[in-house]
Amino acid sequence: MMQTSNTSSAIAAAPLPRSFYERPTLIVARELLGKHLVRRMGEVFLVGKIVETEAYIGQEDPACHAARGKTARTALMFGPPGFAYIYFIYGMYYCLNAVTESHGFPAAVLIRAVEPLQGVEQMSLRRGTRRLEGLTSGPGKLCQAFGLDSTYNGADLCGDELYICPGESIPRAKQGCSPRVGISVGKEHPWRFFVKNNRFVSGGRKQKRALTGR
């Protein structure tokens, strides 16, 4: 049976079914809040509760990577739902998305932040910091903490290495939404979702500045 230790107690939950992802992206983005992102390395588990997401929806959404059509990079977004789309950005970071909607319609949910639940030591080592807050509060940070890079691009989120399973359900009243972070187009859509008053939500630089009034 599965080993049990302080750092890697077994996760009994099964991955969300593919049908979870094969729905309107805004619904998936909201419902992913509270779910558990899991990376399994043998008997060691890294687990985080998703607390911030963003929806990128189709070729009509100018901020969506697939807005200018299907390319080698964006082909995964056009494929079947429930797979990981991981891209490299700003020369240093990776970002994790879950492909949504039906095969042929390009859309995905960016996982922007998680609350560390399990494997904190591993995450701290990869991140090079001991500070719990800030360990996974951002799309680049969480990929670094979870050790996710382009080798996981296309990974099946319904598989057993990198997957998302039911955690808790976040009631609508505890969800917040806002425009998406760090984009220059498509700002009119409030397609960023987060768990209110959760300290692991990134917010992004502009939003932090906005909160402090600068």
Residues 101-130 that bind DNA (CB under 7 A): 108, 110, 127, 129
42 contact partners, CB below 8 Å, separation of at least 6: none
CB of 132 to DNA, least distance (A): 13
Smallest CA-to-CA distance from 97 within 89, 159, 107 is with 107
User: Which residue from 35, 109, 39, 54 is spatially nearest to 77, judged by alpha carbons?
Assistant: 109
Stretch that binds DNA, among 159-167, 168-176, 183-191, 193-201 (CB under 7 A): 183-191
The residues in 21-60 that bind DNA, with binding defined as CB under 7 A, are 54, 56
Dig out the tokens for 73 from the structure. Answer: 């990079």
**Does 207 participate in binding DNA (rule CB under 7 A)?**
no
For residue 207, the surrounding DSSP H or E stretch is helix 205-211
Contact 163, 155 (CB under 8 A): no
Asked whether position 73 contacts DNA by CB under 7 A, the answer is yes
Radius of gyration of the chain from Cα atoms?
A: 16
Integer Cα distance of 123 and 131 in angstroms: 11
Among 35, 39, 141, 189, binds DNA (CB under 7 A): 141
200 forms part of the interface with DNA (CB under 7 A): no
Which residue in the set 89, 125, 130, 160 belongs to the binding site for DNA (CB under 7 A)? 89
Q: Which residues contribute to the site for DNA (CB under 7 A)? A: 54, 56, 63-66, 68-69, 71-74, 85, 87-93, 95, 97, 108, 110, 127, 129, 134, 137-142, 180-185, 202, 204-205
